[in-house]
Structure 1
Amino acid sequence: MRQLAGLDAGFLYLETPEMPMHVGALHVLELPAGFQGRFVDLLRAHIAARLPHLPALRRRLASVPLDLFNPAWVAAEPDLAQHIVAIELPPGSAMRALQDAVGRLHGQLLDRERPLWKFHVFENLAPGNEGQRYVALYTQLHHAAVDGQAAVALASVILDLSPEPRELPAKPARAARTPLGPVGLLRGALAHQWQQTMKLARALPGSVGTLSQLASQSAGEALSALAGRWRGEASGAGSSDLLAPRMRFNQSISAARSFASLSLPLAGLNEARKRHGASLNDAVLMVCGSALRRLLLELGELPKKPLIAAVPISLREAGDTRASNQVSMTRVSLATHIADPRRRLAQLLQASAAMKQGMGAIKDLMPEDFPSPGLPWLLAAAAKLYGRAHLAERVPPLVNLVISNVPGPAMPLYLAGARMLTNAPASIVVHGIALNITVQSYNGMLEVGLMACAEVLPDTQALAAHLQAAYDEFLALKPVAARPHRPVAQGTGN
């Protein structure tokens, strides 16, 4: 057994019928020429061959008696007929039908009695202009098991670089283990709690020093911001405002989901961002902010204050492929209150730089694990109360939405011989944050997945159209021209 770390278990405690806590992606796959049979059967055989190298797919949850501590992962072989299923769409279905199906499925909870994943194979897609045959795959992986980077590592085992699946080295057979009873689970949990308590105690002295330094720095920044307001300076990227403007995304949600996706060429975005001295993440934030501004203007709902995005930050060290969550969250202003795109970009770059500077100081303060006595009761009850009492409408919002940018593979990949054409992420929305925009690079494209509560934003397709327009606007945006140098006239002096 392996007890769940605190960050991983948190996704279990926060899960309610209205807030499923799984992530996934929608992939369109081109079948090999002359393919016969059903792709779902081929995929089951492919995953069965790779399972020895996929421990995250071969475990299920086991609760500690009385839910005193975090649950544990225990070995469990998945029934692939239950975990990889076929869905027949109406003949000739196109991308819109796929996206609508993902929206319906994304609001359904995974079965906690089984390993926490499921693959859905969509059949009956419309053929290509030259007769190409397609299927699609929607994957569900519980966030308690993986974060974005861990999902990429998982995909590196499942996917191949050529249509011919590679042979993986044989894994030694595992000795059969006797299932742990309640006493064994409790004993293991107590030992884990002791280890985490001692680890936290050893890290505490250094954390206190860093926190003191950050507190002094934050106080200075707050005083500078206050002085700026006295001078009449506008609230902008470096503002210390703690609250986001209240808007439609900041309310309680239902289990209904609306999903849309699009693919944007990465080369053009990279060329444009370099002209402005922006990172790829800065460019993604700029395009998303511009699209949101367009959407809210269209709805007549653009707030006077800038929207604030929650931005996940990976804490994963290079080469770390563990299937666990190693991520934190920070905030950044999208400067949506500024009409001029060049001024908006300047404000956003300033906000992004401040965010990166702050995250560099506190990364080491964010533990992946911590003692958990009582947390299963406390957090699960709090999550249910938050939704039932509609506290999202009463609590001032800290952020308006989530924007996540996950690096992905730069080359084409294949699944069981089928070429993967798209890789659109499908992520999580929660009470008070009803929109999630997740971006992942793949094979020269920026794959964008838009997930929203369908009762808050029924038409994510409209936002996808605004994203395309905002992308085109960013590519055409000219840098602010430097002022020409004017030589000082040589006078005779007096």
Structure 2
Amino acid sequence: MLQLSGLDATFLYIESPEMPMHVGALHVLELPKGYRGPFVKDLRALMAARLPLMPALRRRLWWMPLNLANPVWVDAEPDLTQHIVEVKLPASAKKGDGLAELHAAVGALHPQLLDRSKPLWRFHVLEGLGNSHSGHKRVALYSQVHHAAVDGQAAVALANILFDLTPEPRVIETRPSKRVKTFRHDMAEMLRGAIAGEVLQVGQIIRELPATVSSLTRAAGAVAMHTPLLNRGKGNKVSNLALAPRTMLNVSVTPGRAFASLSLPLAEMKALAKLHECSLNDVVLFVCAGGLRKYFAAHGITVPRKPMIAAVPISLRQPGDTSSDNQASLSFISLGTHLADPQRRLAHIKASSAAMKATMGSLKSVLPTDFPSIGVPWLMEAARSIYGKAKVAERIPPVATLAISNVPGPQVPLYLAGARMLTNYPTSIVVHGLALNVTVQSFDKHMDFGMMADAAAMPDVARYAEAVRAAYADLQLLPPESAPAPAPAPARKRPAAKAPPAAKKAGAAPAAQGRRAPTAASKPAPAPARQSRQPVTKATKA
């Protein structure tokens, strides 16, 4: 019996029409020359061949009696005609790049909850785009997979199975499984499994308590050590643990969504990170922070005097682990948005990021992804209902301003059912109190930004995407912090004054020749001011 972990099940308990808990991506695909289609048919055929390798897409939920504890996964045989569906875009999508129509389609489709009686995923094939620059037909794919089934890294592992490196789909040999499929569990078995799991988890918590206390002590030391890094400079005192200022984004969200995307060159972003002696993730945080300042200014909104805070997911997954579950936690990074000077803001983000990494490095081994669950479903669902209806997000101090996630992705061209993938814009989750989610993934030669916002809080999220692009342009012009100051122009030499003829007859040597100084008797009379003083140039004055 495969019971959902506490973290996986949490995404089920907090889900509501206002907060769908699925993730995915928007892909624009270029079809092969002379392709006739339909693409939806070819995609279903490919998925049928690859499904044996993707267990997360071949199982569904089986609920505990009375919802007493976390549900379990049971086997399912998905009907691909229901899980891979076709959507027609408006006629205007054929003009230009069609991104506006694609963004609108994602905004309309994202709020649709996945059917919990079926495997928790759905693919939307978006037809009606115009041709690419090379004259090839295009199609788009918007994917939805529930967060209870995968986290960011697990979704990348699924993509590695689904996508190919060449236009010709590879043939993957699969061996028939000898495991007996389980499509249901009886009540007695479910209760025995829940109680046994509860006992094991409590015992594990007790055994790991000394190591947990030790790790918390080290983390507290790391916070104390890195706090001075964040407090350098007048008006720059801040902590990653401080509360965020209240903004237009810290509200209870509605069922509506607005989506926008952005692509930036990957090689150039890496070069900028190297130039400024920071990480690629610091560059992502910098352009998102600068975009917030520009977006607020464009709307006449005063930027808060306190720095805005990003809620940043961190992976707890061990290298090589491709299991389909959630192994992640949440950290917080101060974005330095209160600093108008981009140089100081970047330094602030670098220090904030370093402090977060030092702290979380000590905690990664003890952060829980599973915990005892008997009675938890009742408590969490009740808390979710009260939180939304009472608009608690507007009543309590916000801990963060927005969510920013950077997921490493494939840096090579990919193909899906023979079509070349041109973009990989992630689509993620907004929750009460955090009305904007920016998820970034590297793909091929660019970094693709997906920006999901609550439609009431930020209906013009596309303007924020352009503000982020403008912030990236600022970074391109920013000199590195360690660059030497430009040397002043050398002062122009004043020519030595010529001695009058009388002095020459006395045998006096000019000082410029380095001979002994003339005696008082032979010292020439001072030259007139107009002969000895040269005009003062700007270089001399400097």
Superposition TM-score, scaled by structure 1 size: 0.93
Per the alignment, do residues 123 and 372 of structure 1 end up closer, same or farther by CA in structure 2, a change over 3 Å counting? Answer: same
Larger radius of gyration: 2
Q: How far apart are 1:482 and its partner, in Å? A: 3.6
Per the alignment, do residues 217 and 123 of structure 1 end up closer, same or farther by CA in structure 2, a change over 3 Å counting? Answer: closer
When structure 1 is superposed on structure 2, of 212-221 and 73-82 the one drifting more is 212-221
Does the CA contact (< 8 Å) of 1:225 and 1:240 recur in 2?
no
| 2:206 aligned counterpart, secondary structure | helix
Q: How far apart are 1:300 and its partner, in Å? A: 2.2
Paired with 1:349 and 1:211, the residues of 2 have a C-alpha distance of 23
Matches within 5 A, 1:422-433: 422-433=423-434
Q: Percent identity?
A: 54
**Is the aligned partner of 1:133 residue 2:103?**
no
When structure 1 is superposed on structure 2, of 28-37 and 132-141 the one drifting more is 28-37
Q: Deviations over 1:114-138 (max 9, x none)?
A: 1000000001111124421000000
Per the alignment, do residues 205 and 130 of structure 1 end up closer, same or farther by CA in structure 2, a change over 3 Å counting? Answer: closer
1:489 match: none
1:59 match: 59
**Is the aligned partner of 1:362 residue 2:363?**
yes
Q: Deviations over 1:220-242 (max 9, x none)?
A: 877x799x79xx94234x53652
Q: How far apart are 1:216 and its partner, in Å? A: 5.7
**Is the aligned partner of 1:443 residue 2:444?**
yes
Q: How far apart are 1:34 and its partner, in Å? A: 1.4
1:474 match: 475
Matches within 5 A, 1:28-67: 28-67=28-67
| 1:348 aligned counterpart, secondary structure | helix
When structure 1 is superposed on structure 2, of 190-199 and 282-291 the one drifting more is 190-199
| 1:364 aligned counterpart, secondary structure | coil
Per the alignment, do residues 189 and 277 of structure 1 end up closer, same or farther by CA in structure 2, a change over 3 Å counting? Answer: same
Does the CA contact (< 8 Å) of 2:219 and 2:360 recur in 1?
no
Per the alignment, do residues 225 and 167 of structure 1 end up closer, same or farther by CA in structure 2, a change over 3 Å counting? Answer: closer
Paired with 2:311 and 2:45, the residues of 1 have a C-alpha distance of 40
Per the alignment, do residues 46 and 217 of structure 1 end up closer, same or farther by CA in structure 2, a change over 3 Å counting? Answer: closer
Per the alignment, do residues 102 and 305 of structure 1 end up closer, same or farther by CA in structure 2, a change over 3 Å counting? Answer: same
1:200 match: 205
| 1:457 aligned counterpart, secondary structure | coil
Per the alignment, do residues 243 and 119 of structure 1 end up closer, same or farther by CA in structure 2, a change over 3 Å counting? Answer: same
1:258 match: 258
1:191 match: 196
1:122 match: 126
Q: Deviations over 1:298-336 (max 9, x none)?
A: 122211111110111111111000011111111111111
Q: Deviations over 1:346-392 (max 9, x none)?
A: 11111111111111111112022111111101011101110000000
Per the alignment, do residues 204 and 38 of structure 1 end up closer, same or farther by CA in structure 2, a change over 3 Å counting? Answer: same
1:8 match: 8
**Is the aligned partner of 1:110 residue 2:111?**
no
1:456 match: 457
**Is the aligned partner of 1:23 residue 2:32?**
no
Matches within 5 A, 1:13-412: 13-93=13-93, 94-174=98-178, 175-177=180-182, 179-215=184-220, 218=223, 233-236=234-237, 239=239, 242-301=242-301, 302-412=303-413
Q: Deviations over 1:454-483 (max 9, x none)?
A: 000001110111111111211221113346
Paired with 1:264 and 1:246, the residues of 2 have a C-alpha distance of 30
Q: Deviations over 1:150-177 (max 9, x none)?
A: 0000010111110111111222145344
Per the alignment, do residues 165 and 220 of structure 1 end up closer, same or farther by CA in structure 2, a change over 3 Å counting? Answer: closer
Paired with 2:140 and 2:376, the residues of 1 have a C-alpha distance of 39
Q: Where does the alignment leave 5 or more consecutive residues of structure 1 unmatched?
A: 486-494
Paired with 1:369 and 1:149, the residues of 2 have a C-alpha distance of 18
Does the CA contact (< 8 Å) of 1:268 and 1:475 recur in 2?
no
Per the alignment, do residues 484 and 258 of structure 1 end up closer, same or farther by CA in structure 2, a change over 3 Å counting? Answer: closer
Per the alignment, do residues 130 and 329 of structure 1 end up closer, same or farther by CA in structure 2, a change over 3 Å counting? Answer: same
When structure 1 is superposed on structure 2, of 1-10 and 90-99 the one drifting more is 90-99
Q: How far apart are 1:278 and its partner, in Å? A: 0.7
Q: Deviations over 1:170-196 (max 9, x none)?
A: 221453446312222222222222222
Does the CA contact (< 8 Å) of 1:52 and 1:171 recur in 2?
no
When structure 1 is superposed on structure 2, of 187-196 and 213-222 the one drifting more is 213-222
Paired with 2:132 and 2:486, the residues of 1 have a C-alpha distance of 54
| 1:365 aligned counterpart, secondary structure | coil
What amino acid maps onto 1:298 in structure 2? A
What amino acid maps onto 1:210 in structure 2? S
Q: How far apart are 1:293 and its partner, in Å? A: 0.8
Q: How far apart are 1:213 and its partner, in Å? A: 4.0
Does the CA contact (< 8 Å) of 1:221 and 1:240 recur in 2?
no
- How many residues matched? 481
Does the CA contact (< 8 Å) of 1:225 and 1:239 recur in 2?
no
What amino acid maps onto 1:391 in structure 2? V
| 1:324 aligned counterpart, secondary structure | coil
What amino acid maps onto 1:330 in structure 2? S
Does the CA contact (< 8 Å) of 2:223 and 2:359 recur in 1?
no
Paired with 2:128 and 2:241, the residues of 1 have a C-alpha distance of 51
What amino acid maps onto 1:56 in structure 2? A
Does the CA contact (< 8 Å) of 1:144 and 1:324 recur in 2?
yes
1:488 match: none
Per the alignment, do residues 171 and 295 of structure 1 end up closer, same or farther by CA in structure 2, a change over 3 Å counting? Answer: same
Does the CA contact (< 8 Å) of 1:309 and 1:334 recur in 2?
yes
What amino acid maps onto 1:212 in structure 2? T
Q: Deviations over 1:425-468 (max 9, x none)?
A: 00000000000000000001000000000000001110111111
Paired with 2:371 and 2:267, the residues of 1 have a C-alpha distance of 42
Per the alignment, do residues 482 and 264 of structure 1 end up closer, same or farther by CA in structure 2, a change over 3 Å counting? Answer: same
| 1:295 aligned counterpart, secondary structure | helix
Paired with 2:136 and 2:175, the residues of 1 have a C-alpha distance of 37
Paired with 2:177 and 2:229, the residues of 1 have a C-alpha distance of 62
Does the CA contact (< 8 Å) of 1:244 and 1:398 recur in 2?
yes
Paired with 1:118 and 1:198, the residues of 2 have a C-alpha distance of 39
Q: Deviations over 1:34-68 (max 9, x none)?
A: 11231001111110011111100000011111111
Does the CA contact (< 8 Å) of 2:75 and 2:183 recur in 1?
no
Paired with 1:422 and 1:319, the residues of 2 have a C-alpha distance of 25
